[in-house]
Structure formats: C-alpha cells, structure tokens
C-alpha cells in the first residue's frame, strides 16, 4: 500500500490548488505614508478598535497549523509597531513550529528588534525600500526615516547572514528607475535577493493613473542594458523571473505583479488585522473571523470558516473581479 504523502496540502480549492501559505496582517497602522499605499490622512490611532489582539492571533495560528499551513508571513501596516510582535513570532515559530515564519517591514524600527527576532527564530525578512536618496525617500514615503532603514539594512548584512533576506523595490517611472544599478550592486557581496516590483492599482487613488507605472518588460530591458551578462535562474511562483550575475553573492528578481497573472499558482490566503480572510486580491469578498473568535466559536468552527474562504477562491481573480476590489494595500496587509 502506498504511504500517504504527508507533504500534500490539507486545504485544496475547487481548482486543485493547494493552500499552504498565509499572509497575516497584525496591524493596519504604519509609520510611513507611501504614495502607492496609504494617504497622509489615513487614521493613525494607536490601536484600532477591531485590531486582532494577541490571543486572537494565537488562536488563528492554532487553526492555521492544524489546517496544514506551512508558511506564515507577518505583515501590516508596519508589524513592528506592535509591542507584542516578538511574542507573536515566538508563538508561530517555537510553539506552533511552522516551517517558515517571515516578516515584511519598512525597516524603520527594525534595528532595535533584529537580535530578538533572530533569537525567536525568524526565518526571513523582507524590507521595503525604493530609493537611497534622502529627498526621494521623503517624496515617496512622506517621512524622513531613510537613515534608520539603512542602519537596519547594514545590521542585517553584518549579523544576520543566515536569514532569507529580500529587498522589495517598487519601480516608479521617472522617480527611481535610474537607481536600479545601485540596488543590483547590493547583491555583489551579500546573499540578498533584490526584487523589482510593479506598481499595483491598490494605492488609495494616489499614483496609479499618473503615468508612474513601470512594467516588468521595461525593468528587464534596463537590467540587460546595465548587466548584459545577466543569467536566468529557475524561480518559483512570483519570483519566476529570477536572475544572477557571475561572482555576485545574491540574486535579482522581477515581480510582474500587475502585468502577469499568477492565479494558476496561487497558494495563499490573506488575513487582515481586523480578522477578515481574503482569498483573492481582486475580490471584494471576505470571510469574517473576528466575530467567531469573540463569540465562543471552537477551533473546529474556525477551521470551517477557513475552508469556506478557500472554497471561494476564483480560478482567475482578475477576470472574476466584481469591480469592488480594495483601493489600498493597507487594507489587506501588503
């Protein structure tokens, strides 16, 4: 008799896609106001009334673990604004033993947390950074925090070489395109992946229609122009377009987040900081966990809600869009 495949996902949607990855937003608060994400007037309350509490997050992690989820990405907003973020990492990595627990951050507060995050077993960190220029950084983020981000990045290079470290660069035509070689050169001496990402239309109606979109093809042409020796690598999922340079320690990826449809490979769910399960970026639909968490529902009932969200995943999110998709990435955890 064949032995069961213990690696087979427990959650499988109607189209045979196994779901084993969840992006869990732990807060919608952020200390930046990037023009491709959040307006300046976005609420900056210390804690939203419907933000998931620590016990809520632990129960969600319990349910995700028994449902076969293997990878957790903690996002925001800015997750390091939570005072209990280290406890959350510890619970996910040490108590629940997820295979991978990673964090996406803007890096402003990262320096003070790096050592503790390493001690708690974090597997990877993605830093969002779109420029090395002080004035340009202020233009994009509406804040003056570049020096803090660069210190955090240097600390990671110096002390966290075992981490899966990625730098996410949103490419904006006429704003930061000419800095592409500066980002590539980070991969010369450090085993970092620099990911050049397309702008997405979830920008709270700020910049999408201003001609700043820079497609993956244009980014690729720029890479080839500066680095004709670029070598293609076999990537996976969103990093399908991956490259290396001879004798460089790191790698480069282009993320065609808008122009290429990744639906056929989608293995993820998103859970917002207010407890909504989102199965597709382009759908306005969600399954609410928060009420169930607070009305005495058992974990089995929460598992059922998770299954309902998986069952609702469309075959092709963009084609199935109801026209009411979210306006800001801050609503869905990046």
pLDDT tens for each residue of 117-174 = 999 999 999 999 999 999 999 999 999 999 999 999 999 998 777 899 999 999 999 9
Axis crossing angle, helix 299-311 with helix 54-66, rounded to the nearest 10: 70
For residue 328, list its beta bridge partners: 203
* Residues 201-230 pLDDT 10s: 765 666 667 778 899 999 999 999 999 999
φ, ψ (nearest 5 deg) of residue 197: -115, 140
Helices (H), 31-107: 54-66, 85-90
0.85 exceeded by the pTM?
Answer: yes
Q: Which CATH superfamily is domain 11-331 in?
A: Aldolase class I (3.20.20.70)
DSSP of 239-282: G-EEEE-TT-SSEEEEE-TTTS--GGG--EEEE-TTSEEES-TT
């Amino acid at each position: 008799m064949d032995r069961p495949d213990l690696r087979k996902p427990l959650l499988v949607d109607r189209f045979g896609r196994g779901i084993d990855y969840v992006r869990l937003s732990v807060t919608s608060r952020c200390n930046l106001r990037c023009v491709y994400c959040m307006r300046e007037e976005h609420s900056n309350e210390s804690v939203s009334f419907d933000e998931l509490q620590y016990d809520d997050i632990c129960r969600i992690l319990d349910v995700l673990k028994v449902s076969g989820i293997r990878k957790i990405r903690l996002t925001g907003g800015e997750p390091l604004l939570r005072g209990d973020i280290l406890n959350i990492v510890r619970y996910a990595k040490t108590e629940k033993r997820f295979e991978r627990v990673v964090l996406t951050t803007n890096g402003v507060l990262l320096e003070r947390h790096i050592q503790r995050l390493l001690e708690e077993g974090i597997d990877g960190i993605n830093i969002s950074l779109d420029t090395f220029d002080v004035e340009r950084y202020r233009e994009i983020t509406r804040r003056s925090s570049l020096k803090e981000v660069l210190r955090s990045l240097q600390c990671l290079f110096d002390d966290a070489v075992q981490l899966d470290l990625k730098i996410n660069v949103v490419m904006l035509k006429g704003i930061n395109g000419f800095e592409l070689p500066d980002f590539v050169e980070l991969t010369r001496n450090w085993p970092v992946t620099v990911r050049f990402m397309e702008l997405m239309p979830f920008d709270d109606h700020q910049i999408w229609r201003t001609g700043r979109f820079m497609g993956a093809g244009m980014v690729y042409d720029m890479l080839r122009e500066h680095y004709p020796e670029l070598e293609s690598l076999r990537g996976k999922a969103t990093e399908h377009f991956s490259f290396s340079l001879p004798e460089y320690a790191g790698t480069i990826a282009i993320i065609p987040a808008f122009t290429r449809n990744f639906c056929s490979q989608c293995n993820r769910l998103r859970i917002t900081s207010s407890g909504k399960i989102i199965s597709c970026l382009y759908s306005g639909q969600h399954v609410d966990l928060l009420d169930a968490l607070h009305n005495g529902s058992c974990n089995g009932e929460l598992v059922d809600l998770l299954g309902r969200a998986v069952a609702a995943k469309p075959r092709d999110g963009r084609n199935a869009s109801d026209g009411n998709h979210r306006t800001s990435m801050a609503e869905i955890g990046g």
